[in-house]
């Protein structure tokens, strides 16, 4: 089954404690992205990757890091989380293949930073 998985699904942490949210896909897609969703703001892109070892900033990259060492994985790293990073995070994948432009989303990770 084609899917995008994220772990953990829920996380409560404290300010300054480094954390990583993992994202993995089994669809062999080239493109992967991270979004955050906040009430009244919709979803905003944090970072994206067009291929292994190729990453670029989205609209709200401050406070986040990413890496793409393997095609299937695209972890999101918060080195020193702050309360304003409390949000719902989505990983998404796409490919310029059959379904041109569509992004497939993971189930989301609810992060609370105290």
Residue numbers of the site for another protein (CB under 8 A)? 31-33, 35, 40-45, 48-50, 58-59, 88, 90, 92, 94, 96, 100-103, 105, 107-108, 110
CB 93, min distance to another protein, A: 9
Q: How far is CA 5 from the centre of its chain?
A: 11
Q: Please, which residue, 16 or 49, has the CB nearer to another protein? A: 49
- Say if CB 4 and CB 25 are below 8 A apart: yes
CB 16 to another protein: min, Å = 27
Q: Given the complex with another protein, which of 42 and 53 has the nearer CB atom?
A: 42
């Amino acid at each position: 089954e084609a899917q995008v998985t994220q772990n953990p699904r829920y996380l409560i942490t404290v300010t300054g404690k480094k954390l990583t949210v993992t994202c993995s896909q089994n669809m062999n897609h080239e493109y992967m992205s991270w979004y955050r969703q906040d009430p009244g703001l919709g979803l905003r892109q944090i970072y994206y990757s067009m291929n292994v070892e190729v990453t670029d900033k989205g609209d709200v990259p401050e406070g986040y890091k990413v890496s793409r060492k393997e095609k299937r994985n695209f972890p999101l790293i918060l080195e020193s989380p702050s309360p304003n990073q409390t949000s719902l995070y989505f990983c998404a994948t796409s490919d310029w293949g059959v379904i041109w432009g569509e992004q497939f989303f993971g189930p989301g990770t609810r992060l609370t930073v105290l």
